[in-house]
Amino acid sequence: MKGLYLVTPDWEDTGRLLDVTAQALDAGAALVQYRNKTASAALRREQAGALLALCRSHGRPLLINDHVDLCLQLDADGVHVGGTDATVAAVRAALGPSRIVGASCYGELALAQAAQQAGASYVAFGGFYPSRVKVYEVSTPLHIVAQARAQLRVPVVVIGGMTVENARPLVGLGAEMVAAISSVYLAPDPFEAAREFTSLF
């Protein structure tokens, strides 16, 4: 796992969502997480199914944020869980050994260590910078990336207000993936924005 980790915004317009995601995949995005906190169950299934087909056509994995049942129904590639979602151990048990399980660890190395022990495929730290999408209670220190790389076996993802400029030092510290939402989906040229992120790696 290495490169641009694309996280979807809360858009109801499925056509627009697919168009921008396709541009990012064409530019080299390595992975897509479907995350829509405001969608109905029907819209969530529609969008996730369409994104899965798109990701399959590009040979890239699609993860579902939180919804293990939807991942299993669609035969998607895995699930990402946050601090208030199901536990990593429970998700790993439900999905089996072959699918991807990611875990939000915020600014806590102990959470990342526990997630790895419970079967996480990768750990995500953040937010590092102010985000246009989420409000974080604390700012994550940059040095946690180097600490995690020294102590963990699983890849490190960074998230939170990511731009190409402020992601660069985190990649330099060892982050394998940079997660982005607004910097790609709200960019004037999503293809070019994704290409610039990809060029960091």
Catalytically active residues, by annotation: 35, 104, 134
Residues 106, 107, 108, 114: is their CA dihedral positive or negative? positive
Separation between Cα atoms, residue 18 and residue 32, nearest integer Å: 11
Task: Compute the distance between CA of residue 74 and CA of residue 1 in angstroms, rounded to an integer.
Answer: 22
Burial class (CB in 10 A: 0-12, 13-18, 19+), 15: exposed
For the record, the structure tokens of 12 come out as: 């109801």
